[in-house]
């Protein structure tokens, strides 16, 4: 998957223009996603020196993004007459999501198990009922 990841409020706590402390498990989860061959694009409002500081902060922790604020690293916006700031990604990880940012363990499960947030919540809140629905659904498909 190609995944856009915000920086402030998503990887680190909001302290803009400073860099806040890491949100628990953000770096370890991002490393696992990179190891599993997902393309991570840093998508942030930061630019110039502030962007360089954020990228350095991530590199110091072993995170190297596939691209930054663009679809692919070689994209030259000055030579691309069809350039759009809208990224073409499979998923966005951002604290400004409706409902806020789930914890990084949940984010990892959504990506690796190919489940929606709603499916994971249903399983967590009613594991027995969810299992019954799956068994019933499976049973009825046999008939």
What distances in angstroms separate CA 78 from CA 66, 73, 85, 87, 128, one per listed residue? 20, 14, 13, 16, 56
Exposed/middle/buried for residue 11 (C-beta within 10 Å: 0-12, 13-18, 19+):
buried
Residue 116 lies in a domain: no
Count CA atoms closer than 13 A to 115's CA, side-chain side: 15
Crossing angle of helices 117-125 and 127-142, in 10° steps, is 110
pTM: 0.80
Higher pLDDT, 116 or 23: 23
Tokens of 67: 């691209």
Residue 66 domain flag = yes
Q: The domain containing residue 96 runs over which residues?
A: 2-101
Distances (CA, A) of 134 to 43, 79, 139, 141: 38, 52, 8, 11
Residue-wise pLDDT tens digits, 34-46: 999 999 999 999 9
Confidence of residue 121 (pLDDT cuts 50, 70, 90): confident
Q: Is residue 2 helix, strand or coil?
A: strand
Question: 6 in a domain, yes or no?
Answer: yes
- C-alpha 136/C-alpha 75 separation (Å) is 50
In a domain, 125, yes or no: no
* CATH value at residue 70: 3.40.50.1000
- Residue 88: inside a domain, yes or no? yes
138 lies in some domain: no
**Is 42 a domain residue?**
yes
Whether 49 is covered by a domain: the verdict is: yes
The pLDDT, as a whole number, for residue 129 is 65
Q: Could you give the number of structural domains in the chain?
A: 1
The answer to whether the beta carbons of residues 87 and 98 sit under 8 Å apart is no
Summarised one tens digit per residue, pLDDT across range 69-109 is 988 776 666 666 666 677 889 999 999 987 789 999 999 99
């Amino acid at each position: 998957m190609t995944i856009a990841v915000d920086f402030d409020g998503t990887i680190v706590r909001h302290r803009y223009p400073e860099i806040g402390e890491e949100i628990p498990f953000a770096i370890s989860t991002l490393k696992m996603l990179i190891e599993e061959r997902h393309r991570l694009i840093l998508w942030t409002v930061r630019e110039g020196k502030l962007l360089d500081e954020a990228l350095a902060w991530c590199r110091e922790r072993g995170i190297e993004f596939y691209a930054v604020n663009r679809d692919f690293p070689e994209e030259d916006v000055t030579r691309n007459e069809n350039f759009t700031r809208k990224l073409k990604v499979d998923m966005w990880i951002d604290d400004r999501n409706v409902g806020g940012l789930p914890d990084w363990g949940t984010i990892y499960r959504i990506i690796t198990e190919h489940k929606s947030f709603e499916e994971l919540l249903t399983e967590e809140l009613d594991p027995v009922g969810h299992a019954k629905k799956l068994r019933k659904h499976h049973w009825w498909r046999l008939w």
